[in-house]
Chains A and B, each alone.
Chain A
């Protein structure tokens, strides 16, 4: 895998921040797309996406709603929360809803990159496990792995 392979989507209404972050990621060989609000993010995730870096507090549709929609429509996409509004309650809710990691601003770019790499690696591993299960004829388990069914069921309880 090369680092350019990771399809990253950055979602934040703080335009200056997210544009500069995208520029710095590009300088490190990671091409990232950018969305400035929830609806734009949901539209962008229709294109192939591996990892979303998602703000929580945004006008209109907030990050939790985006996370819920993404996990419903594209459960294999990994979502890293990156927020300036980082209370314990928000962190727990995000993890319950299937977020991969929860980071607080201002963060170090290397910390974010490390999290993105790990999220992508886990996504690939999930896919490989699912393929392996499917090859063995266990299609239900394969689907559960791809859909992270346990997480979603836990959240819906």
Chain B
């Protein structure tokens, strides 16, 4: 998977979600307008009806506010994707905060994930986990893990948490639950080396058995020939 393919897929997923968010805002705001227009006549006819209308109006406005927040988070993730693409083509390629990459990925790929019935969760991190890796390569690796789970039929929940293993920064990948959990674990066990990296970078998905059924995604620079 090259950078353009990765960017295109994540952007398509995010734009789809953004359109849905805008649609909710538009309908909620439209409903609020409708209710406001009806408020006077409703109050004249029926006091109880007016109260129900007021409650629905408040709920519609709260939904619009919630959707604006969701849209803002999506916009931030898309901005991060744009910056990551820019960083890759520039001279400086790191460090990046793996916790932020995880959060951005879960937002960007959210819509695509729901279509594949894959739940994406970004694990809590109390502080940034800095790694000298181009963020676009981390996104590629996460998308490749997503594809592994989709290839076995989806229906699993994945949690990505930035962390360290033997002083190396990486991402802890857990398959939390779902009908195809065992299949997803098997697919990930059988694919230790992710193939979509740029020359010069290597991503390995290593079982971390002492910590339960989880994996550690290690990303590191390597000789181009070895990648």
Q: List residues of A whose CB falls within 8 A of some B CB.
A: 13-14, 16-17, 20-21, 23-24, 27, 57-60, 62, 84-86, 104-109
Contact = CB atoms under 8 A, between A and B. Distances in A.
A84 B23 contact: yes
A24 B17 contact: no
Q: Which of B27, B34, B38, B117 has the most CB of A within 10 A?
A: B27
A70 B25 CA distance: 30
Nearest to B115: A57
A62 B27 contact: no
Given A16-B24, A84-B111, A85-B12, 17 more contacts: A16-B28, A16-B63, A17-B24, A20-B24, A20-B60, A23-B56, A24-B27, A24-B34, A27-B31, A57-B111, A57-B115, A86-B19, A105-B19, A105-B23, A107-B23, A108-B26, A109-B30
B195 interface: no
29 contacts: A14-B20, A14-B24, A16-B28, A16-B63, A17-B20, A20-B24, A20-B28, A20-B31, A20-B63, A23-B31, A24-B30, A57-B111, A59-B117, A62-B115, A84-B15, A84-B16, A84-B17, A84-B23, A85-B12, A85-B16, A86-B19, A104-B19, A105-B20, A105-B23, A106-B19, A106-B22, A107-B23, A107-B26, A108-B26
Interface size class of B (residues with CB under 8 A): 20 to 34
Contacts of A86: 19
A85 B17 CA distance: 9
Nearest to A110: B30
Interface of B: 12, 15-20, 22-28, 30-31, 34, 38, 56, 60, 63, 67, 111, 114-117
